[in-house]
Amino acid sequence: MTKSRKLTTLPTEFLEAVPVMDVLHQHGYEAYFVGGSVRDILLGKKIHDVDIATSAYPEEVKQLFHRTVDVGIEHGTVLVLLNQGEYEVTTFRTESTYQDFRRPDQVTFVRSLKEDLKRRDFTMNALAMDTTGNIVDLFEGMKDLDNRCIKAVGNPSERFHEDALRMMRGLRFASQLDFEIEPATYEAICEHHSLLDKISVERIQVEFEKLLMGGNRKKGLDPLISSGCYKYCPELADKKENLIHLANLSNQPFESVELAWLVTLAALDIQPAQVKAFLRQWKCSNELARLMTQSVKALQQRLLTGWRLDLLYQSGEKVITLVETACPYFGQPSQLSESLLSYQQLPIHSMKDLAVTGQDLLGHVKQPPGKWLGDMLNYFEEEVLFGRIENDQEKLLQAADLYQKGDN
Protein backbone atom coordinates (compact mmCIF):
# COMPACT_ATOMS: atom_id res chain seq x y z
CA MET A 1 0.00 0.00 0.00
CA THR A 2 2.68 2.50 0.97
CA LYS A 3 4.45 1.93 -2.36
CA SER A 4 1.77 3.93 -4.13
CA ARG A 5 2.41 7.64 -4.54
CA LYS A 6 -1.24 8.36 -4.92
CA LEU A 7 -4.22 7.41 -2.84
CA THR A 8 -7.02 6.52 -5.19
CA THR A 9 -9.88 7.09 -2.78
CA LEU A 10 -9.72 9.65 -0.02
CA PRO A 11 -11.50 8.81 3.24
CA THR A 12 -14.34 11.08 4.36
CA GLU A 13 -12.20 12.91 6.94
CA PHE A 14 -10.06 14.26 4.08
CA LEU A 15 -12.90 14.77 1.59
CA GLU A 16 -14.77 16.95 4.06
CA ALA A 17 -11.77 19.27 4.29
CA VAL A 18 -11.33 19.61 0.52
CA PRO A 19 -13.69 22.65 0.21
CA VAL A 20 -11.36 24.56 2.58
CA MET A 21 -8.39 23.74 0.41
CA ASP A 22 -10.35 24.62 -2.76
CA VAL A 23 -10.91 28.13 -1.42
CA LEU A 24 -7.18 28.49 -0.76
CA HIS A 25 -6.36 27.20 -4.25
CA GLN A 26 -8.86 29.53 -5.90
CA HIS A 27 -6.98 32.44 -4.36
CA GLY A 28 -3.65 31.23 -5.63
CA TYR A 29 -2.33 29.57 -2.47
CA GLU A 30 -0.99 26.07 -2.01
CA ALA A 31 -2.68 23.75 0.46
CA TYR A 32 -1.86 20.20 1.53
CA PHE A 33 -2.81 17.65 4.09
CA VAL A 34 0.19 17.12 6.37
CA GLY A 35 1.38 15.36 9.51
CA GLY A 36 0.02 12.35 11.34
CA SER A 37 -3.15 11.93 9.28
CA VAL A 38 -1.21 11.43 6.05
CA ARG A 39 1.12 8.96 7.78
CA ASP A 40 -1.78 7.07 9.31
CA ILE A 41 -3.88 6.83 6.16
CA LEU A 42 -0.89 5.42 4.30
CA LEU A 43 -0.55 2.83 7.05
CA GLY A 44 -4.23 1.97 6.75
CA LYS A 45 -4.90 3.28 10.25
CA LYS A 46 -7.79 5.24 11.68
CA ILE A 47 -7.58 9.02 11.23
CA HIS A 48 -8.32 11.40 14.12
CA ASP A 49 -8.13 14.87 12.64
CA VAL A 50 -6.64 16.17 9.47
CA ASP A 51 -4.16 19.04 9.46
CA ILE A 52 -3.91 21.41 6.53
CA ALA A 53 -0.75 23.36 5.71
CA THR A 54 -0.86 26.31 3.34
CA SER A 55 1.31 28.95 1.74
CA ALA A 56 -1.23 31.60 2.79
CA TYR A 57 -0.19 33.66 5.81
CA PRO A 58 -2.53 33.59 8.82
CA GLU A 59 -4.02 37.01 8.04
CA GLU A 60 -4.63 35.91 4.47
CA VAL A 61 -6.36 32.74 5.66
CA LYS A 62 -8.58 34.80 7.91
CA GLN A 63 -9.62 37.06 5.05
CA LEU A 64 -10.75 34.12 2.94
CA PHE A 65 -13.19 32.57 5.38
CA HIS A 66 -16.17 34.07 7.19
CA ARG A 67 -15.71 32.14 10.38
CA THR A 68 -12.25 31.60 11.87
CA VAL A 69 -10.78 31.29 15.35
CA ASP A 70 -7.21 32.21 16.26
CA VAL A 71 -6.21 29.01 18.00
CA GLY A 72 -2.45 29.38 17.70
CA ILE A 73 -1.91 32.31 15.47
CA GLU A 74 1.64 32.98 16.73
CA HIS A 75 2.53 29.56 15.32
CA GLY A 76 0.49 30.17 12.21
CA THR A 77 -2.61 28.13 13.05
CA VAL A 78 -6.10 29.37 12.29
CA LEU A 79 -9.20 27.28 12.88
CA VAL A 80 -11.51 27.54 9.90
CA LEU A 81 -15.19 26.81 10.46
CA LEU A 82 -16.83 25.73 7.25
CA ASN A 83 -20.10 23.88 6.71
CA GLN A 84 -20.38 21.68 9.79
CA GLY A 85 -16.64 21.17 10.23
CA GLU A 86 -13.64 22.76 11.96
CA TYR A 87 -10.27 22.62 10.22
CA GLU A 88 -6.85 23.61 11.52
CA VAL A 89 -5.04 25.51 8.80
CA THR A 90 -1.38 26.26 9.49
CA THR A 91 0.89 28.44 7.42
CA PHE A 92 4.06 26.81 6.07
CA ARG A 93 6.75 27.75 8.54
CA THR A 94 10.29 27.24 9.66
CA GLU A 95 11.28 27.16 13.29
CA SER A 96 14.73 28.62 13.46
CA THR A 97 15.98 29.03 17.01
CA TYR A 98 14.84 26.77 19.80
CA GLN A 99 16.76 28.06 22.75
CA ASP A 100 14.77 26.27 25.40
CA PHE A 101 14.61 22.97 23.48
CA ARG A 102 10.86 23.05 23.78
CA ARG A 103 9.02 25.49 21.65
CA PRO A 104 10.26 27.29 18.60
CA ASP A 105 11.55 30.67 19.72
CA GLN A 106 11.00 32.09 16.36
CA VAL A 107 8.48 30.95 13.83
CA THR A 108 9.02 32.27 10.36
CA PHE A 109 6.18 31.93 7.90
CA VAL A 110 7.30 30.84 4.47
CA ARG A 111 5.67 30.15 1.12
CA SER A 112 7.54 26.91 0.45
CA LEU A 113 6.16 23.48 1.30
CA LYS A 114 9.67 22.05 1.28
CA GLU A 115 10.82 24.43 4.01
CA ASP A 116 7.83 23.41 6.09
CA LEU A 117 8.36 19.67 5.67
CA LYS A 118 12.06 19.94 6.35
CA ARG A 119 11.53 21.19 9.92
CA ARG A 120 9.35 18.22 10.87
CA ASP A 121 10.51 15.46 13.20
CA PHE A 122 10.47 12.18 11.26
CA THR A 123 10.37 11.38 7.56
CA MET A 124 7.07 9.52 7.96
CA ASN A 125 5.62 12.73 9.45
CA ALA A 126 7.04 14.90 6.68
CA LEU A 127 4.73 13.68 3.93
CA ALA A 128 2.12 15.91 2.34
CA MET A 129 -0.92 14.96 0.30
CA ASP A 130 -2.91 17.08 -2.14
CA THR A 131 -6.67 17.03 -2.58
CA THR A 132 -6.46 14.36 -5.27
CA GLY A 133 -4.49 11.95 -3.09
CA ASN A 134 -1.06 12.62 -4.59
CA ILE A 135 1.69 12.18 -2.03
CA VAL A 136 4.50 14.71 -1.88
CA ASP A 137 7.48 12.85 -0.51
CA LEU A 138 10.60 15.01 -0.34
CA PHE A 139 12.47 13.11 2.40
CA GLU A 140 11.92 9.45 1.53
CA GLY A 141 9.12 9.13 4.03
CA MET A 142 7.36 6.52 1.89
CA LYS A 143 10.47 4.34 1.82
CA ASP A 144 10.76 4.58 5.61
CA LEU A 145 7.09 3.75 6.01
CA ASP A 146 7.60 0.70 3.82
CA ASN A 147 10.64 -0.30 5.87
CA ARG A 148 8.75 0.40 9.09
CA CYS A 149 11.46 2.75 10.14
CA ILE A 150 11.51 5.90 12.27
CA LYS A 151 14.06 8.26 10.83
CA ALA A 152 14.66 11.89 11.66
CA VAL A 153 14.36 14.37 8.81
CA GLY A 154 17.90 15.51 7.94
CA ASN A 155 20.26 15.73 10.88
CA PRO A 156 18.73 13.98 13.92
CA SER A 157 20.75 15.99 16.46
CA GLU A 158 19.37 19.20 15.01
CA ARG A 159 15.82 17.88 15.11
CA PHE A 160 16.21 16.88 18.77
CA HIS A 161 17.83 20.17 19.73
CA GLU A 162 14.87 21.93 18.17
CA ASP A 163 12.44 19.96 20.29
CA ALA A 164 13.75 17.36 22.70
CA LEU A 165 10.30 15.85 23.11
CA ARG A 166 10.79 14.38 19.65
CA MET A 167 13.01 11.72 21.25
CA MET A 168 10.07 10.55 23.36
CA ARG A 169 7.82 10.81 20.30
CA GLY A 170 10.22 8.52 18.41
CA LEU A 171 10.06 5.92 21.19
CA ARG A 172 6.29 6.11 21.37
CA PHE A 173 5.92 5.74 17.60
CA ALA A 174 8.13 2.63 17.81
CA SER A 175 5.59 1.16 20.22
CA GLN A 176 2.45 2.48 18.52
CA LEU A 177 3.42 1.57 14.97
CA ASP A 178 5.68 -1.40 15.74
CA PHE A 179 8.51 0.33 13.87
CA GLU A 180 12.29 0.24 14.37
CA ILE A 181 14.24 3.38 15.11
CA GLU A 182 16.86 3.92 12.42
CA PRO A 183 20.45 3.63 13.82
CA ALA A 184 21.59 7.25 13.34
CA THR A 185 18.33 8.51 14.87
CA TYR A 186 18.72 6.10 17.80
CA GLU A 187 22.33 7.16 18.34
CA ALA A 188 21.28 10.79 18.46
CA ILE A 189 18.64 9.91 21.06
CA CYS A 190 21.34 8.21 23.16
CA GLU A 191 23.59 11.23 22.77
CA HIS A 192 21.00 13.89 23.52
CA HIS A 193 18.68 12.23 26.04
CA SER A 194 19.59 14.77 28.71
CA LEU A 195 17.85 17.49 26.69
CA LEU A 196 14.63 15.94 27.99
CA ASP A 197 15.45 17.62 31.27
CA LYS A 198 14.02 20.81 29.81
CA ILE A 199 10.73 19.26 28.76
CA SER A 200 7.65 19.63 30.92
CA VAL A 201 6.40 16.54 32.74
CA GLU A 202 2.98 16.97 31.15
CA ARG A 203 4.39 16.53 27.66
CA ILE A 204 6.56 13.58 28.69
CA GLN A 205 3.56 11.98 30.37
CA VAL A 206 1.48 12.15 27.19
CA GLU A 207 4.20 10.39 25.20
CA PHE A 208 4.90 7.81 27.92
CA GLU A 209 1.23 6.89 28.16
CA LYS A 210 0.99 6.57 24.39
CA LEU A 211 4.10 4.38 24.46
CA LEU A 212 2.52 2.16 27.13
CA MET A 213 -0.70 1.94 25.14
CA GLY A 214 1.05 1.07 21.88
CA GLY A 215 0.63 -2.25 20.08
CA ASN A 216 4.25 -3.24 20.63
CA ARG A 217 5.17 -1.69 23.96
CA LYS A 218 8.44 -3.56 24.22
CA LYS A 219 9.67 -1.87 21.05
CA GLY A 220 9.30 1.49 22.79
CA LEU A 221 10.37 0.46 26.28
CA ASP A 222 13.61 -1.25 25.22
CA PRO A 223 15.08 1.86 23.57
CA LEU A 224 13.63 4.07 26.33
CA ILE A 225 15.82 2.11 28.72
CA SER A 226 18.89 1.55 26.56
CA SER A 227 19.07 5.16 25.34
CA GLY A 228 18.88 6.54 28.89
CA CYS A 229 15.72 8.57 28.20
CA TYR A 230 14.00 6.85 31.14
CA LYS A 231 16.19 8.88 33.52
CA TYR A 232 14.28 11.98 32.53
CA CYS A 233 10.87 10.48 33.20
CA PRO A 234 9.60 11.31 36.69
CA GLU A 235 10.65 8.87 39.42
CA LEU A 236 12.21 6.41 36.98
CA ALA A 237 15.88 7.36 37.27
CA ASP A 238 16.65 4.56 39.75
CA LYS A 239 14.15 2.08 38.36
CA LYS A 240 16.12 0.65 35.47
CA GLU A 241 15.85 -2.98 36.60
CA ASN A 242 12.12 -2.63 37.19
CA LEU A 243 11.67 -1.06 33.78
CA ILE A 244 13.49 -4.00 32.22
CA HIS A 245 11.08 -6.24 34.13
CA LEU A 246 8.16 -4.21 32.72
CA ALA A 247 9.53 -4.50 29.19
CA ASN A 248 9.86 -8.26 29.58
CA LEU A 249 6.34 -8.92 30.82
CA SER A 250 3.77 -10.21 28.35
CA ASN A 251 3.63 -7.75 25.47
CA GLN A 252 -0.14 -8.04 25.15
CA PRO A 253 -1.46 -4.49 24.51
CA PHE A 254 -3.26 -2.85 27.42
CA GLU A 255 -6.95 -2.34 26.93
CA SER A 256 -7.12 0.81 29.05
CA VAL A 257 -4.84 3.51 30.41
CA GLU A 258 -5.78 2.39 33.93
CA LEU A 259 -4.60 -1.14 33.21
CA ALA A 260 -1.39 0.26 31.69
CA TRP A 261 -0.64 2.22 34.86
CA LEU A 262 -1.56 -0.63 37.17
CA VAL A 263 0.79 -3.08 35.47
CA THR A 264 3.48 -0.41 35.27
CA LEU A 265 3.21 0.52 38.96
CA ALA A 266 3.28 -3.13 39.99
CA ALA A 267 6.28 -3.89 37.75
CA LEU A 268 8.06 -0.85 39.16
CA ASP A 269 7.33 -2.18 42.66
CA ILE A 270 5.63 1.02 43.81
CA GLN A 271 3.98 0.28 47.15
CA PRO A 272 0.34 1.31 47.75
CA ALA A 273 1.40 4.05 50.17
CA GLN A 274 3.75 5.54 47.52
CA VAL A 275 1.37 5.43 44.59
CA LYS A 276 -0.18 8.84 45.17
CA ALA A 277 3.15 10.66 45.44
CA PHE A 278 4.51 8.76 42.44
CA LEU A 279 1.56 9.64 40.22
CA ARG A 280 1.60 13.24 41.45
CA GLN A 281 5.11 13.55 40.04
CA TRP A 282 3.68 12.33 36.75
CA LYS A 283 0.94 14.98 36.99
CA CYS A 284 -1.73 12.30 36.80
CA SER A 285 -5.19 13.08 38.11
CA ASN A 286 -6.17 12.52 41.75
CA GLU A 287 -8.87 10.23 40.46
CA LEU A 288 -6.32 7.96 38.79
CA ALA A 289 -4.11 8.11 41.91
CA ARG A 290 -7.00 6.96 44.11
CA LEU A 291 -7.95 4.14 41.78
CA MET A 292 -4.32 3.01 41.50
CA THR A 293 -3.70 3.09 45.26
CA GLN A 294 -6.59 0.69 45.74
CA SER A 295 -5.72 -1.42 42.72
CA VAL A 296 -2.01 -1.84 43.52
CA LYS A 297 -2.91 -2.99 47.02
CA ALA A 298 -5.54 -5.40 45.74
CA LEU A 299 -3.24 -6.75 43.03
CA GLN A 300 -0.48 -7.46 45.54
CA GLN A 301 -2.86 -9.52 47.66
CA ARG A 302 -4.51 -11.24 44.70
CA LEU A 303 -1.12 -12.37 43.42
CA LEU A 304 0.09 -13.52 46.84
CA THR A 305 -2.89 -15.22 48.43
CA GLY A 306 -6.01 -14.58 46.38
CA TRP A 307 -8.89 -12.32 47.36
CA ARG A 308 -9.97 -11.83 50.95
CA LEU A 309 -13.62 -11.13 51.56
CA ASP A 310 -13.02 -7.66 52.99
CA LEU A 311 -10.72 -6.72 50.13
CA LEU A 312 -13.28 -7.80 47.54
CA TYR A 313 -15.79 -5.65 49.40
CA GLN A 314 -13.52 -2.59 49.57
CA SER A 315 -12.39 -2.99 45.97
CA GLY A 316 -15.67 -3.05 44.09
CA GLU A 317 -16.21 -4.28 40.55
CA LYS A 318 -13.97 -1.75 38.81
CA VAL A 319 -10.87 -2.56 40.86
CA ILE A 320 -11.59 -6.30 40.78
CA THR A 321 -11.87 -6.18 36.99
CA LEU A 322 -8.65 -4.18 36.65
CA VAL A 323 -6.75 -6.47 38.99
CA GLU A 324 -7.98 -9.65 37.35
CA THR A 325 -7.10 -8.24 33.93
CA ALA A 326 -3.61 -7.43 35.25
CA CYS A 327 -2.97 -10.93 36.64
CA PRO A 328 -1.89 -12.57 33.35
CA TYR A 329 0.91 -10.00 32.99
CA PHE A 330 2.33 -11.45 36.22
CA GLY A 331 1.95 -15.07 35.23
CA GLN A 332 -1.37 -15.82 36.89
CA PRO A 333 -4.50 -16.59 34.89
CA SER A 334 -7.35 -14.15 35.19
CA GLN A 335 -10.28 -15.36 37.24
CA LEU A 336 -12.45 -12.44 36.34
CA SER A 337 -15.83 -14.13 36.27
CA GLU A 338 -15.21 -16.12 39.46
CA SER A 339 -13.99 -13.04 41.34
CA LEU A 340 -16.89 -10.91 40.14
CA LEU A 341 -19.29 -13.67 41.15
CA SER A 342 -17.72 -13.82 44.64
CA TYR A 343 -18.14 -10.08 44.85
CA GLN A 344 -21.76 -10.19 43.71
CA GLN A 345 -22.49 -12.88 46.27
CA LEU A 346 -21.26 -10.79 49.19
CA PRO A 347 -24.13 -10.19 51.64
CA ILE A 348 -23.72 -6.41 51.28
CA HIS A 349 -21.83 -4.11 48.91
CA SER A 350 -21.82 -1.00 51.07
CA MET A 351 -23.07 0.14 54.42
CA LYS A 352 -26.18 1.40 52.67
CA ASP A 353 -27.16 -2.23 52.06
CA LEU A 354 -27.46 -2.94 55.80
CA ALA A 355 -31.01 -3.83 56.79
CA VAL A 356 -30.88 -1.12 59.48
CA THR A 357 -30.13 2.58 59.08
CA GLY A 358 -28.71 5.03 61.57
CA GLN A 359 -32.26 6.31 62.05
CA ASP A 360 -33.53 2.81 62.88
CA LEU A 361 -30.80 2.42 65.47
CA LEU A 362 -31.45 5.83 67.01
CA GLY A 363 -35.14 4.97 67.32
CA HIS A 364 -34.39 1.58 68.81
CA VAL A 365 -31.54 2.30 71.17
CA LYS A 366 -33.00 5.58 72.41
CA GLN A 367 -29.72 7.30 73.04
CA PRO A 368 -28.70 10.70 71.72
CA PRO A 369 -26.61 10.45 68.53
CA GLY A 370 -22.92 10.09 69.19
CA LYS A 371 -19.83 8.14 68.33
CA TRP A 372 -21.53 4.93 69.39
CA LEU A 373 -23.72 5.07 66.29
CA GLY A 374 -20.86 5.03 63.80
CA ASP A 375 -19.08 2.34 65.82
CA MET A 376 -22.19 0.21 65.83
CA LEU A 377 -22.72 0.57 62.10
CA ASN A 378 -19.08 -0.32 61.43
CA TYR A 379 -19.43 -3.34 63.65
CA PHE A 380 -22.57 -4.48 61.82
CA GLU A 381 -20.96 -3.93 58.48
CA GLU A 382 -18.14 -6.31 59.36
CA GLU A 383 -20.35 -8.88 61.08
CA VAL A 384 -22.76 -9.02 58.16
CA LEU A 385 -19.96 -9.11 55.60
CA PHE A 386 -18.32 -12.08 57.29
CA GLY A 387 -21.69 -13.81 57.74
CA ARG A 388 -21.67 -13.68 61.52
CA ILE A 389 -24.97 -11.78 61.65
CA GLU A 390 -27.69 -12.13 59.08
CA ASN A 391 -28.61 -8.95 57.21
CA ASP A 392 -32.08 -8.85 58.66
CA GLN A 393 -33.58 -5.89 60.49
CA GLU A 394 -34.88 -7.84 63.44
CA LYS A 395 -31.62 -9.72 63.92
CA LEU A 396 -29.62 -6.53 63.69
CA LEU A 397 -31.80 -4.75 66.24
CA GLN A 398 -31.36 -7.69 68.58
CA ALA A 399 -27.65 -7.48 67.99
CA ALA A 400 -27.84 -3.76 68.76
CA ASP A 401 -29.25 -4.57 72.19
CA LEU A 402 -26.44 -7.01 72.84
CA TYR A 403 -23.90 -4.53 71.54
CA GLN A 404 -25.27 -1.91 73.91
CA LYS A 405 -24.86 -4.28 76.79
CA GLY A 406 -21.26 -4.66 75.78
CA ASP A 407 -21.95 -8.25 74.82
CA ASN A 408 -20.45 -8.18 71.34
For the bound state, the minimum distance from the C-beta of residue 38 to ligand CTP, rounded and expressed in Å, comes to 8
Nearer to ligand CTP by Cβ, of 62 and 210: the residue is 210
Q: Is 163 annotated as a binding residue?
A: yes
Q: Is 36 annotated as a binding residue?
A: yes
For the bound state, the minimum distance from the C-beta of residue 125 to ligand CTP, rounded and expressed in Å, comes to 3
- Minimal CB distance residue for ligand CTP: 36
Nearer to ligand CTP by Cβ, of 257 and 373: the residue is 257
Q: How many CB atoms lie within 10 A of CB 314?
A: 12
Cα distances (angstroms) measured from residue 135 to each of 51, 127, 267? 15, 7, 43
For the bound state, the minimum distance from the C-beta of residue 37 to ligand CTP, rounded and expressed in Å, comes to 7
Nearer to ligand CTP by Cβ, of 45 and 290: the residue is 45
For the bound state, the minimum distance from the C-beta of residue 254 to ligand CTP, rounded and expressed in Å, comes to 17
Nearer to ligand CTP by Cβ, of 50 and 319: the residue is 50
Q: How many CB atoms lie within 10 A of CB 193?
A: 20
Q: How many CB atoms lie within 10 A of CB 18?
A: 17
- Within 8 A by CB and 6+ apart from 73, the residues are 58
Nearest to 176 by CA among 216, 136, 143: 216
44: left (phi over 0), alpha (psi -120 to 50) or beta: left
Task: Write b or e for each residue in 212-245: b if 16 or more Cβ atoms lie within 10 A of its Cβ, otherwise e.
Answer: bbbebbbbbbbbbbebbbbbbbbebeebeebbee
Specify the amino acid at residue 98: Y
Strand order from edge to edge, sheet including 77-82: 67-72, 77-82, 85-91, 51-54, 31-34, 128-129, 135-136
Nearer to ligand CTP by Cβ, of 95 and 382: the residue is 95
Nearer to ligand CTP by Cβ, of 165 and 188: the residue is 165
Nearest to 167 by CA among 122, 215, 107, 222: 122
Q: Which residues bind ligand CTP (CB under 6 A)?
A: 35-36, 48, 120-121, 125-126, 163, 165-166, 169
For the bound state, the minimum distance from the C-beta of residue 316 to ligand CTP, rounded and expressed in Å, comes to 34
Q: Is 166 annotated as a binding residue?
A: yes
Q: Is 39 annotated as a binding residue?
A: yes
Instruction: Quote the CA–CA distance of 119 and 114 in Å, as a whole number.
Output: 9
For the bound state, the minimum distance from the C-beta of residue 314 to ligand CTP, rounded and expressed in Å, comes to 38
Q: Is 120 annotated as a binding residue?
A: yes
Instruction: Quote the CA–CA distance of 194 and 230 in Å, as a whole number.
Output: 10
Binding residues for ATP: 36, 39, 120, 163, 166, 169, 172
In the annotated binding site, the residues are: 36, 39, 49, 51, 120, 163, 166, 169, 172
